Structure 1
Amino acid sequence: MAILKLKVETPLFVLGGGSAVVGLDAFYKDGKLYLVDLGSPGVLSQMREPSLEAAVQLVARDPARYSYASFPSPQIPEKAEVKIGRAPPASTIKGLLRTAYLRYMLERDSEVAAKFLNAVKTALEERVHPKILASRGEEVVFRRYFDKRRFDLFNLVHVKELSLRPNYRVYKVDVVEGGSVKASFYAVGTAPGSEFEYLVEVAPFFKESGEKEQLISIEDLRSALDLFAKEVAEFERSRGRLAPCERGVRLGFGAGRRWKTVLSFIQKREPQLYESVGEYMHDRLKRVWGDLTVKIAEGKPVGWACYEWS
């Protein structure tokens, strides 16, 4: 087993906590955003004739009194939507390690790499759904036969949240392309200095005979994450973007496609296939699918965290 430690370097957003609307169930006052449940007993008990309008007027006078959560925040206009983020759960970290291990296996085993690339080509020819495109290639690496049984190799890897110490803030996030802001939104994210620890364990594979075999090791995962992080960070630097630490990753919303796929490997190994994947995704998604846009908060690309193992 090992402990993976993360320290947030730039505002990080793992969304999934819903959203709130300023002036309805969120209220800004004196540098803080307050989240409020208008249907809570504390609010309803203060009104003679409960109504949405009356509840909003009541809470707006003293949002701190009725809030169930509050965050430091910039000034936010009325009716603006604020997305609610959370600390990266264990599933996010396992997803990162899975992508890193995929990249590691493609580097280490040329036969597996060739099968992976062929699987992606075949999926493109069949015009499968974009979500299936990635899984076709992954199956070559993860869903393999061991002791006459086919199963997902990464089911042997277990990640558990040990310690989550988030410092939440509200940020204005700008979507930047070519130096121009194309769109903006507000979101609650974990601030720089937030720290998270995860326990990573790898179970042995049990053969039908009862014997145990270690198909993946902790050292494999360490090497995989280092390889993957270094490769994608080098891409970030090549575009003139921030890469704040030697061992760093980008997580969550806005991290970009390079941190969630092995596109850098495909681009390096088969540039034409890389172009075909991009064209196909653009055609199916009906939007630009590329590296041109970057999400910025407080002047820096979002999602950076430095990591270390212990």
Structure 2
Amino acid sequence: MAILKLRVATPLFVLKGGAVVSGLDAFYKDGRLYLVDPTHPALVSRAATLEDVVKLASADPPRYAYAAYPAPPIPPNTEVKIGTAPPASTIKGVLRTAYLLAVLAKDSAVAGQFLQSVRDALQEKLHPKYVASRGEAIVFKRHLGRRTFDIFNLMRVKEGAFNANHRVYKIDVVEGGAIKTSIYAVGLAPDSVLEYEIEVRPFVKESGEKELWLTEQELKDALDTFAREVAAFERERRGYAACDRGMRLGFGAGRRWKTVLNFVEKKDPTLFGDIERYMSTKLNRVWDDKTVKTAEEKPVGWVCYEWR
């Protein structure tokens, strides 16, 4: 078993915890945002209407809060999204993308099949989420008679020790040096530390014989290569990378950290352009690298990692 240890370098957001609205079920006071349940018995028993509930809660937020976070001043009626620590599935997804890149870079025949499958998916006008999965099947699927097996089912990621500090941040969406819009969200603060246990099992045949289709060392090497390549892109394009062994996770990390677009762009620039146009059409927005989400004037989501 291997341990992947992450240290948060810039505010990190995994926005799967819902949202609150300042002045309704969240109240700012003395540098903290207090989250309040309007159905709290202590409030409901003393208030006849929602307006009364809000007045009571706003007068003494700490008394009724079920959670509180350090926060900058937040305007009234502002939505604040609630973030969580990256779940094991996020880490497994990054490792899957990294392993995909490693195989494509090593095997030109597989790379050719992958690129052709993506071309075919575009021609068939598949849903965006299926464009890459068509190609991924070439790398990850094994056919066992009538059964199909995904080799990443042999890999397990488990959340380990977390030392997570949360706070509210103002996230700016920046393009061309100008702020287009801003949102507020609860995220992991720098110096939070997260550990994940990575275990790879052998494949067991019906005969009982075991085969190693995937190894921990392959995953380590793949992540190192993937992170190094995309971080180099970040340094060139944005002039910033948090650390030598670093990557970006979660909301705002950008498409390069979730795909093998760097590889596609190098091997087939025409296909890369086709993908950009196709995704822009399907998503009804420009799909590119021009915007960056920042908090405290740094790109969000950077973590520095080490293997143990």
Fold match by TM threshold 0.5: yes
Measured in 2, the distance between the counterparts of 1:225 and 1:297 equals 25
Q: Secondary structure at the match of 2:238?
A: coil
> Percent of counterpart pairs with the same letter?
60
| Structure 2 unaligned blocks of 5 or more | none
**Could you give the per-residue CA deviations for residues 259-285 of structure 1, whole angstroms, max 9, x where no partner exists?**
000000000111110010001111111
2:140 corresponds to: 142
Measured in 2, the distance between the counterparts of 1:42 and 1:213 equals 60
Out of 130, 145, 150, the residue aligned to residue 128 of structure 2 is 130
Give the deviation of 1:134 after TM superposition: 1.4
Distance 1:146 1:249, change over 3 A: farther
1:209 corresponds to: 207
Kindly provide the amino acid, as one letter, of the partner of residue 280 in structure 1.
Y
Give the deviation of 1:148 after TM superposition: 7.2
Measured in 1, the distance between the counterparts of 2:88 and 2:225 equals 21
**Could you give the per-residue CA deviations for residues 182-205 of structure 1, whole angstroms, max 9, x where no partner exists?**
010000000000000000001110
Give the deviation of 1:112 after TM superposition: 1.3
**98-107 vs 10-19, which moves further:** 98-107
2:32 corresponds to: 32
1:171 matched to 2:193: no
Q: Secondary structure at the match of 1:34?
A: strand
1:84 corresponds to: 82
- What is the number of equivalent residue pairs in this alignment? 308
Q: Secondary structure at the match of 1:284?
A: helix
Out of 56, 59, 62, the residue aligned to residue 57 of structure 2 is 59
1:255 corresponds to: 253
Kindly provide the amino acid, as one letter, of the partner of residue 254 in structure 2.
G
Measured in 1, the distance between the counterparts of 2:203 and 2:218 equals 15
| Structure 1 unaligned blocks of 5 or more | none
Give the deviation of 1:50 after TM superposition: 2.7
Give the deviation of 1:228 after TM superposition: 0.5
Measured in 1, the distance between the counterparts of 2:111 and 2:148 equals 19
Give the deviation of 1:207 after TM superposition: 1.2
TM-score by length of 2: 0.98
TM-score by length of 1: 0.97
Kindly provide the amino acid, as one letter, of the partner of residue 219 in structure 1.
Q
Give the deviation of 1:241 after TM superposition: 2.9
Considering only aligned residues, what root-mean-square deviation do their CA atoms show, in Å? Answer: 1.1
Q: 1:1-310 maps to which residues of 2 (within 5 A)?
A: 1-45=1-45, 47=46, 49-145=47-143, 149-310=147-308
**36-45 vs 267-276, which moves further:** 36-45
Give the deviation of 1:42 after TM superposition: 2.7
4+ residue runs over 3 A deviation: 146-149
**101-110 vs 140-149, which moves further:** 140-149
Kindly provide the amino acid, as one letter, of the partner of residue 167 in structure 1.
N
Are the aligned partners of 1:19 and 1:84 in contact in 2 as well (CA < 8 Å)?
yes
